[in-house]
Amino acid sequence: MAADNTTVMDEPDPFDAIVDAPFDSALSERYLVYALSTITARSLPDLRDGLKPVHRRLLWAMRQLKLNPTDAFKKSARVVGDVIGKYHPHGDASVYDAMVRLAQDFALRYPLVEGQGNFGNIDGDNAAAYRYTEARLTKTALRLMEGLDEGTVDFIPTYNGEEREPEIFPGLFPNLLANGASGIAVGMATNIPSHNVAEIVDATLELIDNPHVEHARLMELFHGPDFATGALVVDSAETISAAYETGRGSFRMRARFHSSEATAPADREAGIERLGGGQWQLVVDQIPYQVQKGKLIEQIAAAIADRKLPILEDVRDESDENIRIVFVPRSRNVDPELLKESLYKLTDLETRFGLNLNVLDATRTPMVMGLKELLSNWVASQIDILQRRSRHRLDQIAKRLELVEGYIVAFLNLDRVIEIIRYEDDPKAVMMEEFSLTERQVEAILNMRLRSLRKLEEMELRQEKDDLLKEQDELEKLLGSPARQRTRLKRDLAKLRAEYGPDTALGARRTLIAEAAPAVEFSMEAMIEKEPVTVILSQKGWVRGAKGHLPLDQEFKYKEGDAQGFVLHAQTTDKLLLVTDTGRFFTLGADKLPGARGFGEPVRNTLDIDAGAQIVAAIVHRPKQRLLLAADTGKGFAANTDDLLAETRKGRQVVNLKGEAKLQVVRPIAPEDDHVAVVGDNRKLVVFNLEELPELARGQGVQLQRYRDGGMADAITFKLEDGLSWTMGGKEGRTRTETEMWQWKVARGGAGRMPPQGFPRDNRFE
């Protein structure tokens, strides 16, 4: 067999293309490229047309498909297919979601797409699949794209270079502020509400007339957000103005209580419908922007079920194409304003919208702008578009004038032109030389139809030439005069305002801006239905609440190995103070106790109580009540219960303890008490004035009694005049009172002396 002499060419080693570079610098460089792409080509809108690339490409594709408002609808799938195939190589779901939003009149103040079919609703239901829905452009979208064929913007290649797309849309419609935008980029975000076009135009006209206008003057014309869903903005004018001056801030949005069925004007504006017999109900017909009605109803129903809204009996959704949410109070004696305020505080009938005017300027640089700066930049972009349109039109006029002048020459020498065409071998060259015409003029003459060779055509050509020269002169003056450019822009804006004026259906303001009246003062306890409850807390920390005030000496069932800890009477509106031997106080609402059918639930499921901590006291909170707190070391102080309430489940550390010390005594101090009695493990008793006991919000306290060995056994406060009492034990539960307690009275911190005869052997007062 002959040897194979085929020479295999050496292929380049792929490892030769590897660049040796530090990993962190390579990673940061590539992440920066990704971040810039996200910021400039995905998440932030362009100041000039207020659109992100996906929205711009959607509208451009629909324009190419000739989906004008007067033309027939086309399937959304056709639009999405063109967009992802030609202009926007991303997922079809994301493109269709963007298209759906452009068609939702509850999402966009001025929709740019007109949808046919299920495009979702304010309840939060999704749109149908794109194979079922159809769409076309709205008049507003055409306004936004007006001038695309007039040389106003640059066209750039698409991602694969096969098509071209506009860099921005040149239309005069102020889409950025009119429809707003939201997006999250890398390290920055934007959130712009929608606004009223008439107010935007008014502020812009003022800025054109006076470039140095004060921000306060602009805010007299530009009142603030105008959301697609209406509702109310209840912040003060100063708050709104400050947000637009810096480009950052937030607005409080509230649902609008209003009823068209109410008879009295005051009731109608307050949303109150009288039902007869003193009964009434509240009606909401507008909800805050971006709040889904279905989830809002569920949220309110859950609040009723959880007894967070006891003054509300029921909520009904009676909406059709218009929103109508009905609130039925628990009784006719409920204050309507209290019910409104409680709904605002506990549900999404009041939300906040964060303003962040972060946009891309004409150089594609992200920047947070105030209202004046934003309008100034937009006016500058519109002036630039006006200049480009004028220059483009001048080029068209020059080309047309060239042809018209050639036609006129032909008409003036019609017989000779016909003769040249008829007999000359090269009529083009002869005509160019004889009449001093350009090649383009001669080509146009040679392409003329015979029917155009009539006298009337010559007159029309001369009139056209005069009109073109006049227009040319006006455009040249326009380009040479910034004042004329501003005047032209003002005139065009005035026409736009007439189309979207406050007296039109689309332009009428929907969101009412009015500072809210002072809120009706109410506590959360007022929202809890007051009912008696018996609190049962076992030694191992299982808690439950039995309805009604049961006898405190009643026997209750506990889990095996557990026993009674504390049993006390309370109301569902009360707060319970649970105290551990570590000196930490916890707060538990009596309305949140589990039912008493079983053994209850571990209190540690609700409160973050350490596993090794022991609950030493359970007290019903009473305002301004004083407690005696004492550790087994003999140190203690008085505390006010108002300072002991904890706002979190972690509780509040009140008594600071060192080493292995434990909190031993937590007892209420009666208003009439004037002395403190302390007994130690050594069976020594000391009595001193209550005035010597400091009142603290937190601390170790002071030494109540001094010990050589052992510690404190018990402490209590009493009225010296009435004497000191203690339980004698036994079934009868008798008590004994010693009135001559002056014999044990010393200064605080004394060692004390043996107690009166008959004092309990366990050294406990109770």
Q: What is the pLDDT of residues 397-438, one digit of tens each?
A: 999 999 999 988 988 888 898 899 888 889 999 999 989 999
**Tens-place pLDDT, residues 233-277:** 999 999 999 999 999 999 999 999 999 887 889 999 999 999 888
Amino acid at 424: E
Closest CA to 201 of 487, 510, 495: 495
Percentage of residues of the chain with pLDDT beyond 90? 65
What's the rounded Cα separation, in Å, for the pair 419 and 441? 18
Q: Is it the case that residue 363 has pLDDT exceeding 80? A: yes
Could you tell me what percentage of the chain is helix, strand and coil, using 3-state DSSP and rounding each to the nearest 5? 35, 25, 40
Give the pLDDT score at 463. Answer: 92
Confidence of residue 522 (pLDDT cuts 50, 70, 90): low
For residues 660-687, one letter each, b for 16 or more C-beta atoms within 10 angstroms of the residue's C-beta and e for the rest, the string is ebbbbbbbbbeeebebbbbbbebebbbb
Average pLDDT over residues 139-166: 94
Q: Can you tell me the mean pLDDT for 572-583? A: 91
Residue 42 CB-half CA count within 13 A = 15
Cα(334)–Cα(330) distance, integer angstroms: 7
Q: How many Å apart are CA 6 and CA 12, to the nearest integer? A: 19
pLDDT greater than 90 at residue 194: yes
Per-residue pLDDT averaged across 78-94, rounded? 94
617, two tokens: 């006291």
How confident is the model at residue 728, as a pLDDT?
A: 72
Looking at the annotation, which residues are catalytic?
132
Span 619-662, pLDDT tens digits = 999 999 999 999 999 999 999 999 999 888 899 999 999 888 99
For residues 525 and 341, the model is more confident at 341
Cα distance between residue 438 and residue 441, in whole Å: 5
Dihedral sign from CA coordinates of 52, 53, 56, 57: negative
**Which residues have a Cβ under 8 Å from the Cβ of 47 and sit 6 or more positions away?**
176, 359, 360, 361, 362, 369, 374, 377, 378, 381
